[in-house]
Chain A
Amino acid sequence: MKLRRIKAVYKKQFADKNALRSVVFQSVIYPLMAMMFSLSGDESEKFIMVSTLTPMFVGSSPMLTVNNLVREDKNGGALRALTLASVRPLEYIIAIALFMLSISGATTLLMGVVGGMDGIGLMYFFLSTMLGCLLTVMLACSISLRKNSRTNAVMFINLISILNGFVPLIGMLYPSATVVTKYWYTQQVKEVIGSIYSGNTQGLWFSFGVIIASLVIFTLLFVVSYRKNRIFSQE
C-alpha cells in the first residue's frame, strides 16, 4: 500500500469541483435544516432538530455519496484506469472513505455548533458522529463491492440508507422497538446527543460500546466483501 496513491485519489475528489459541490450540498443541507428549524426556538427545539437530523445524516448521506462516487468511477472506466495505474482497490476505498470523512467531519462540526454544543460535549458529539460516518462508509463500500450491477447497487443502497437514517425515528415512534434498535449505531448516535444535552454521561459507555462493536462487525463484513469483490473485477 502506497500513501501517495491514496493521496492522489483523495486529491482527485477535491479537484472535481462539480462533484465536490454536490457532495458538500448533500451534506450541508442537514445542519442548514437544523439551523432553519431551530432559529426561533429554544434549547429543546435545537435538541429535537439536532438529535433527529444528525443520525439521519450519519446513516444515509455518506452511504449515498460513497456509492455515487464509486459507481461513477466504475461506470466511466476511471476505476479501471486507476487500477491499471497500480492503484490497489484498498487504496482507492481508503481514499474515498477519507474524502467522505473529511466532508462529514466539517458537516458534523457545523451541526454541533448549530446545536449549541461546545467543549467536552462537542468532542463526544464529534467522536460519535465520525465513528458513525465511518461505519456508514464501511457499509456502503461493502455493498458496493458486492453489487456489480449499478441498478442493484443503487436500489439496495437507497433502501439501506433510508432504513439506516430512520432507525432512531422508529425507536422514537415505537419505544418497544428500541429493544432491537438500541444495538444499531445510528440509534446510539442519537443517544449520545441525548446524553450531551441532558448532561447525563452514564449512558455514553453503552453507546460507544455499541459503536465500537459495530466497528468490529463492519470491518469483518468489509473484509469478506473485499475478498469477494466484484466491482474491481473485469470478469
Chain B
Amino acid sequence: MYIIKANKISKAFGENKVLNEVSFSVAEGEIFGLIGPSGAGKTTLLNILTGQIKADSGEAFVCGLASSDPNDEFYLSMGIVFDTLGLFERLTGYDNLAIYADIYGIGKENIATALNSVGLDPNNKTKAFQYSKGMRQRLAIARAVLHKPKILFLDEPTSGLDPAAKADIHELLLDMKKDGTTIFLTTHKMDEAYKLCDRIMLINNGTAIEIDTPFNICLKYNADKKIIAILKDGSKKTFNTDEKSADEICELLKSGSIESLHSSEPSLEDVFLKIAKGGVDVNEA
C-alpha cells in the first residue's frame, strides 16, 4: 500500500523551473530517499509533499490526503524535521515537547516516551540552545514522532553532525523503520542513502532520473561490467565478463593465487557525481 503518491509534480519560481513532472510513490514501512545535488529540487518537493507550498501542476497525496489542501488530519499523519529544526531555544527538551503535546491534544506521558525513544533524558533541565548538534537533531526527531505519525519526513537529517552522532541517528531511524514508521528523507550523503534507504529517487535539475533500490541503481550504471581480482602477490587484474575471462579466473582460483574477487559496479556516489555533472543520459543505463 502506498503512503505517498506524487503524480507529475511541477513547480517553478518565476522563470526558474525547479520540478518537472516528478512522479513516484512510497510504500508503507519503507525508508525512501530523495537524492540529488544542491538545487536539484529536493527541498521544494519535500515542501510540496508536506503542504508548505503548492505545486504549479500535478498532485501529491500523503496517507490518501491531498497535500494541496492540508487539513488537521493531514498534518497529524506526518512528523517533519527540516533543516532549521525550529526548536524553542530557551526551553528544555521536555518543555519543547510539552507545547506540541498541547497542540496535538495528547497526554504528557507521550513526552517521556518520545524523548526516551531518541535517547534524550526527559528530566534534563538543559535548554535547547545548550544542546549539542546531535542532541538538537534528536530533539527535533522526538518532536516529529511525539504524536506517533504514520510517516516521518526528514530534510538532511545528519547534516553537520559528527560521525558518532550520525551513526546514532542512523540507528534511530532504522529502529523506527522496524517499528513500522515510513520514512521519507532527503540527503546528499550517498553512504547514508545506501545504508538506510530501501529505495531512492535520484533527482537532478528537477527531473527524476532513477527510482529503485540503491543496489539496483549501482548495478544499472555499471557500464564497465568488469571483474577485479586482487592477487596474493598484491597485484590487481581486471577481467571482462566473457567466457575467456571466466576461464582465466577459474585457472587463477585453482592455482590459489587469488586473494579476493570484486565486481566493478560504481558506488552510489559515482552515480550521483555522474548525475550531478550532468553526464547521465537517462537511456544510457
Contact = CB atoms under 8 A, between A and B. Distances in A.
Bound pair (A, B): yes
Interface of A: 2, 4-5, 7-9, 11-12, 15-19, 76-87, 233-235
B52 A78 contact: no
A235 B13 contact: yes
A75 to B, nearest CB: 9
Contacts of A5: 102-103
A99 to B, nearest CB: 13
A76 B89 contact: yes
A80 B103 contact: no
Contact of A84 (B75, B87, B90, B102): B75
B87 A80 contact: no
Contacts of B83: 77
A77 B85 contact: yes
Interface in B50-85: 50, 52-53, 72, 75-76, 78, 80, 82-85
A8 B103 contact: yes
Given A4-B105, A12-B88, 6 more contacts: A8-B102, A11-B99, A15-B98, A76-B89, A83-B52, A84-B52
B75 A86 contact: yes
B157 to A, nearest CB: 15
Interface residues of B, number: 29
B86 A80 contact: yes
Among the interface residues B52, B88, B98, B103, which one has the most CB atoms of the partner chain A within 10 A? Answer: B103
A16 to B, nearest CB: 5
A15 B13 contact: no
B21 interface: no
Contact of B75 (A9, A76, A85): A85
Nearest to A81: B86
A78 B88 contact: yes
A16 B82 contact: no
A235 B12 CA distance: 10
B88 A85 contact: no
Interface string B248-285: 00000000000000000000000000000000000000
B102 to A, nearest CB: 4
Given A78-B86, A86-B72, A234 B104 contact: no
Contacts of B99: 8-9, 11-12, 15
A82 B75 CA distance: 11
A19 B143 contact: no
